[in-house]
């Protein structure tokens, strides 16, 4: 940073301070007696840049206003890195009101603190670093403490050390929290032990806390699902059982089968739901109902066997009767009737033909016989005999036809009887088929009574086997009633069992809710503890890396300062002190020709001490330029040669412009210009004066 212009009105000593077109390189000397305003120039420049001065803190800035003015202003123009020109102005009144503005190109920042932060960003250093390096207030020059925050900030390690310290505090807090978490986890474990139920949540060693939470959550959902299933499936099972109970009072086969199927499905669903609970000490309470259903199903199976036995008979009758849907080999009654009718017609025609022809032959025989007795002229006497013979033959043939007609009549009567038998058999088949077909539409007892009317052996045997077997309990009035009462009793017991089971599920759900909450809490605690462990590990590593980085940075910075001191000090002392030893703590030891050994800082004269301290200040300034500024920098030294003798002052004045290529604009405030010490700009302050003006080449 190089100062080009400094203008102030009613600030500190000056009613008017105007310094314009200041040179970028060279020595600017400000001289004058005590209380003439030398220090006010440096204080005003400091106030303009940082909103405070070495003598005035942020809380008493109203004292910066000249005693006889209501307000004061200060304006400074300077260049920073990359040759950026900046104009900064500040205004203060005696009531403590203040304003500030910073303009860089087209950008403007307003506000006292905002401008100060912007300046620090532009310059690369803060007020504390400024007063320890580029600004030497009128005070005793003391060697810097290597462990001061300012030097650490100059070296670039202060923020790192603060980060490390903050991380250290965090580690302490995290470890304290870890201890608390261990206690909370132990408490959660103690509470979980109170709810331990192997039948509810079997132990599974090796599970992670997250897996334990997921297991409890899954178990809760499982019990809730079973609870809903029981609430849904139990009423449907009850309806099926009640339907089956109603069937025992007399129901058809379809109703029996439907109710039995519903009950079987309901029992299976209920047993499946109960099995999902995983309770080893709980039965679904369906055993008696299952046994009763098994007996009923055995009876229904017997009825099915009965059906299987009569189906062939029914098929045969259906085919004989020519009913639709009954097909197979063999003749039908209709075909037998048609065949019998055809034979009757044929025999009738044959018989009738023989009767008619026999009658004709009888008439012929009578005629021929009569002609044999009637004399006919012209015929021989033997002709009559021939008529008699012809009549006899005709009579004989008619007799034969008569005999045949009688035989055909007997056969015709037999065929008519057979026709009637076919009709009888057909009617019987119709009645039997009706009995074998309609029984499905009536209740089982009526169906058995209907089937008992069928005389066919195969049906009679099947019906007898059904009644005498397991099917009898379905059709016998006393047995069926007893079966219904048993089903109702078992249903009542089932309802009680399911209600008890639901109560247990509710109790277990309450316990699981507590277990789930505790496991979830424990999982969160474990996750937090693990996260803390990882954070502590990360922070410890970060601290280790920061400490290593700080050590290296500090070592490099101190080495740079030592090298700068070793280079600058001989220039300030005309080579009298060329041999220095400066350790990592910036402690200086100089070689004493008198003692022929290196002596400590405290053993040398006060003047030499101040020269060494000034060399240290210059070395620090160079180091800060290299670390943060990276550009040419001004230096303001207020009474740096106090307690110097004339020779030391002259030597220092001549050496200062040459000691560093980085410190190009050097301001020096002194009571008088040293003899033989040239300055590029000489600003003379007068006692009692309230203005100071410099405008470039005008002087």
User: Does residue 478 register a pLDDT over 90?
Assistant: no
pLDDT score of 322: 79
Count H helices and E strands in the chain, helices first.
16, 15
Kindly report, residue by residue over 58-104, the tens digit of the pLDDT: 888 899 999 889 999 999 999 987 788 999 999 999 988 999 999 99
State the pLDDT at residue 447: 82
Output the pLDDT for position 41: 94
pLDDT at 576 over 70: no
Q: Which residue is associated with the tokens 């670093």?
A: 129
- Say yes or no to pLDDT of 558 above 80: no
Mean pLDDT for the stretch of residues 554-565: 77
CA distances from 694 to 5, 631, 682, 698 (A): 10, 25, 9, 7
> Tell me, what's the pLDDT at 50?
94
**CB neighbour list of residue 337: distance below 8 Å, 6 or more residues apart:** 419, 422, 423, 426
Q: Is the pLDDT of residue 346 over 80?
A: yes
Work out the average pLDDT over 681-690: 90
Whole-number mean pLDDT of the chain? 83
Between 626 and 17, whose confidence is greater? Answer: 17
pLDDT at 575: 67
What would you report as the CA-atom Rg of the chain, rounded to the nearest whole angstrom? Answer: 67
Q: Are residues 135 and 65 in the same domain?
A: yes
454 shares a domain with 483: no
- CA 31 – CA 427 distance, rounded (Å): 155
103 vs 697: CA distance, rounded Å: 26
Q: What is the mean pLDDT of residues 376-399?
A: 73
CB 495 within 8 A of CB 238: yes
Same domain, 436 and 521: no
Residue 512 lies in a domain: yes
Q: Is residue 331 situated within a structural domain?
A: yes
pLDDT for 39 beyond 70: yes
- β pairing state of 26-31 and 14-20: unpaired
Report d(CA 523, CA 208) in Å as an integer: 8
25 and 140 both lie in a single domain? yes
Q: Which two tokens stand for residue 380?
A: 């021989």
Report the percentage of the chain scoring pLDDT > 90.
21
Specify the pLDDT at position 117.
94
pLDDT at 242: 87
Q: Average pLDDT for residues 338-366, to the nearest whole number?
A: 81
298 domain-assigned? no
Give the domain extent around 454: 318-467
The pLDDT of 549-571, averaged and rounded, is 78
Residue 238 has a pLDDT of: 87
Whether residue 561 lies inside any domain: the answer is yes
- Residues 571 and 481 placed together within one structural domain of the fold: yes
Please name the helix (run of DSSP H) or strand (run of DSSP E) that holds residue 7, with its range, or none. strand 2-11
Same domain, 579 and 518: yes
344 and 266 in one domain? Answer: no
* Residue with more model confidence, 278 or 238: 238
Per-residue model confidence (pLDDT) at position 5: 95
Distance CA 612, CA 577 (A): 10
Residue 636 lies in a domain: yes
**Boundary of a domain, candidates 467, 487, 512:** 467
Whether the Cβ atoms of residue 133 and residue 154 lie closer than 8 Å to each other: yes
Co-location of 63 and 88 in the same domain:
yes
Asked whether the predicted pLDDT for residue 16 surpasses 60, the reply is yes
Closest to 681 in 3D by CA, of 39, 46, 4: 4
Q: Which of 16-30, 217-231, 266-280, 434-448 has the lowest mean pLDDT?
A: 434-448
How much is the pLDDT for 593? Answer: 63
Do residue 161 and residue 140 come from a single domain?
Answer: no
Q: Are residues 254 and 336 in the same domain?
A: no
Residue 604 inside a domain? The answer is no
The CA-based angle 617-633-64, given to 5 degrees, is 80
The reported pLDDT for the residue numbered 410 is 85
pLDDT bucket at 482, cuts 50 / 70 / 90: confident
* pLDDT score of 579: 62
In the 8-state DSSP scheme, what is residue 688?
T
In contact, 655 and 572? CB cutoff 8 Å: yes
Q: Which residue has the higher pLDDT, 160 or 77?
A: 77
Percent of the chain with pLDDT over 70: 93
- Please report, for residues 570, 658, 663, the alpha-carbon distance to residue 2 in angstroms, rounded to integers and kept in the order given: 27, 17, 10
- 147 pLDDT above the threshold of 60: no
CATH number, domain of 55, equals: 3.40.50.300
| pLDDT value of residue 140 | 54
Mean pLDDT of 8-26: 94
43 inside domain: yes
Whether residue 615 lies inside any domain: the answer is no
Number of domains observed in the structure of the chain: 3
DSSP label at 476? S
Same domain, 261 and 342: no
Same domain, 163 and 120: no
Written as six digits, the tokens of 231 are 């609430």
Report whether pLDDT(234) > 60.
yes
Highest mean predicted confidence (pLDDT) among 45-49, 231-235, 310-314, 578-582: 45-49
Cα separation values, 465 from 306, 462, 490, 533, Å? 8, 5, 29, 82
Predicted confidence at residue 370, as pLDDT, reads 76
The answer to whether residues 129 and 624 touch, using CB atoms and an 8 Å cutoff, is yes
pLDDT band at 578 (very low <50, low <70, confident <90, very high): low
Q: How confident is the model at residue 220 (pLDDT cuts 50, 70, 90)?
A: confident
Separation between Cα atoms, residue 294 and residue 349, nearest integer Å: 68
């Amino acid at each position: 940073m190089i100062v080009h212009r400094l203008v102030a009105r009613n600030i500190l000593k000056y009613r008017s301070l105007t310094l314009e077109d200041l040179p970028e390189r060279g020595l600017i000397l400000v001289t004058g007696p005590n209380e003439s305003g030398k220090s006010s120039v440096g204080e005003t420049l400091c106030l303009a840049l940082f909103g405070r001065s070495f003598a005035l803190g942020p809380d008493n800035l109203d004292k910066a206003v000249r005693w006889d003015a209501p307000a004061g202003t200060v304006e400074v123009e300077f260049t920073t890195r990359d040759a950026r020109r900046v104009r900064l102005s500040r205004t203060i009144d005696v009531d403590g009101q203040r304003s500030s503005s910073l303009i860089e190109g087209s950008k403007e920042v307003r506000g006292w603190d905002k401008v100060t932060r912007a300046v620090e960003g532009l310059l690369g250093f803060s007020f504390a670093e400024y007063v320890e390096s580029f600004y030497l207030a009128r005070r005793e020059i003391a060697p810097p403490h290597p462990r001061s925050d300012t030097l650490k900030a100059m070296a670039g390690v202060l923020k790192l050390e603060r980060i490390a310290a903050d991380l250290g505090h965090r580690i302490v807090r995290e470890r304290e929290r870890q201890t608390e978490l261990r206690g909370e986890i132990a408490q959660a474990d103690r509470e979980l032990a109170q709810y331990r139920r192997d039948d509810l949540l079997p132990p599974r060693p090796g599970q992670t806390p997250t897996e334990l939470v997921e297991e409890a959550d899954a178990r809760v959902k499982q019990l809730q699902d079973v609870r809903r299933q029981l609430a849904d499936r139990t009423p449907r099972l009850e309806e099926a059982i009640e339907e089956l109970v109603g069937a025992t009072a007399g129901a058809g086969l379809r109703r029996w089968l439907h109710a039995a199927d519903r009950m079987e499905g309901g029992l299976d669903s209920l047993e499946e739901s109960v099995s999902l609970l995983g309770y080893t000490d709980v039965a679904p309470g369906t055993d008696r109902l299952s046994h009763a259903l098994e007996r009923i199903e055995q009876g229904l199976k017997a009825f099915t066997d009965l059906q299987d036995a009569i189906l062939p008979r029914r098929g045969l009758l259906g085919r004989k009767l020519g009913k639709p849907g009954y097909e197979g080999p063999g003749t039908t009654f209709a075909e037998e009737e048609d065949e019998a009718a055809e034979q009757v017609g044929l025999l009738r025609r044959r018989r009738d033909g023989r009767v008619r022809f026999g009658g004709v032959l009888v008439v012929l025989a009578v005629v021929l016989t009569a002609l044999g007795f009637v004399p006919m002229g012209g015929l021989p006497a033997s002709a009559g005999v021939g008529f008699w013979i012809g009549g006899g033959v005709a009579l004989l043939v008619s007799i034969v036809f008569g005999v045949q007609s009688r035989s055909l009549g007997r056969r015709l009567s037999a065929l008519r009887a057979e026709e009637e038998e076919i009709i009888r058999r057909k009617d019987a088949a119709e009645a039997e088929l009706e009995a074998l077909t309609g029984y499905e539409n009536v209740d089982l007892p009526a169906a058995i009574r209907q089937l008992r009317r069928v005389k066919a052996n195969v049906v009679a045997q099947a019906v007898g086997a059904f009644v005498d077997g397991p099917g009898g309990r379905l059709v016998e009035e006393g047995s069926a009633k007893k079966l219904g009462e048993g089903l109702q009793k078992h249903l009542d017991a089932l309802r009680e069992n399911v209600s008890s089971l639901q109560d247990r599920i509710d109790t277990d759900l309450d316990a699981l809710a507590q277990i789930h909450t505790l496991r979830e809490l424990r999982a969160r605690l474990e996750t937090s503890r693990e996260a803390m462990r990882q954070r502590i590990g990360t922070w410890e590593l970060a601290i280790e890396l920061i400490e290593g980085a700080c050590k290296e940075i500090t070592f490099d910075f101190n080495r740079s300062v030592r090298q700068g001191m070793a280079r600058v000090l001989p220039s300030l002392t005309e080579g009298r002190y060329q041999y220095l030893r400066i350790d990592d703590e910036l402690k200086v030891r100089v070689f004493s020709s008198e003692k022929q050994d290196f002596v400590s800082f405290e053993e040398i004269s006060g003047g030499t001490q101040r020269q060494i301290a000034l060399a240290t200040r210059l070395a620090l300034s160079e180091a800060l330029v290299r670390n943060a500024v990276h550009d040419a920098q001004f230096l303001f030294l207020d009474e740096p040669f106090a307690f110097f003798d004339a020779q030391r002052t002259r030597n220092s004045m001549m050496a200062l412009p040459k000691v560093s290529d980085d410190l190009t604009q050097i301001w020096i405030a002194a009571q008088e210009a040293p003899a033989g010490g040239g300055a590029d700009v000489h600003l003379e302050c007068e006692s009692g004066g309230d203005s100071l003006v410099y405008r470039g080449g005008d002087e």
